[in-house]
Amino acid sequence: MLLVIDAGNTNIVFAVHDGAGFRGIWRTQTQPQRTSDEYGVWLQALLQRAGIPPNSINRAVIGTVVPAALYHLRRLCRDWFATEPLVARASVNWGFPIKTDTPEEVGADRLLNALAAHDKYRGPLVVVDFGTATTFDVVDQDGAYLGGAISPGINLSIEALHQAAARLPRIGIGRPKRVIGKGTVSAMQSGTYYGYIGLIEGLLARIEGELATPLKAIATGGLAPLFSEGTTKFTAIDPDLTLDGLRLLAARNPAPTLPRGHARFIDHD
């Protein structure tokens, strides 16, 4: 049993993979101050509800773009599951070259998406991840990571618009029926949604033009289904791509050794 932890800027996703598929996937808000014991109590209840004995978990892997959260997540794995987690970094064995100027600066989530996307769909391709930031990550036909683009996520854009313009309200995200809004809210919704569709299509076209080759476009992240409704550019919608990347990374690398003094195992039978 593999415990998979994907810690993003907004949410942390916990999942358990039994070698054949994910037995459970759970999300909670990212709070770097939350302790390992708080995570442990919460996760234990979810595991029991899913019929997964906590002591059946014997491996763990963590991917995070929030360095402050790593300490408590690592302690969770050590103290509650007696396992040393593999942490996704540029220095582990990815199975492909990272062809950027500074590989150590590439976010783990971007490399995980590249790993999973090439395994499932084969390159050349680009992964569009709708998270706190919207990222575009390019993989060549051999699976090498080439780099990409980062733009503000749509929630950040909406919040910035509300904060910077006194008379503009905070709006929800949705696909308007018309581009021409008949009121302030509908005009903001149109500009936000279709503006993002333009950003997606424009960047995909420019990336293809720069590489001079057609690319598959894979959408992931919680808002991927919403934006796929407004464009025909996506080959596939895969909301759990990062989790698959963590699973594949764990399979490629040996399990780290649990340090001395961290073998406290809590039997949650």
Buried b or exposed e, range 97-120, using 16+ CB within 10 angstroms: ebeeeeeeebbbbbbbbbbbbbee
Q: Per the residue annotation, which of 37, 101, 109, 267 is the catalytic one?
A: 109
Q: Is 269 a catalytic residue?
A: no
Contact 47, 24 (CB under 8 A): yes
Report DSSP letters for 129-195, one per residue. Answer: EESSEEEEEEE-TT--EEEEEEEE-HHHHHHHHHHH-TTPPP------S-SS-SSHHHHHHHHHHHH
CA distance to 11, 40, 195, 267, per residue, from 43 (Å): 15, 5, 39, 14
Q: Which residue has the tokens 């076209």?
A: 205
Residues marked as catalytic:
109
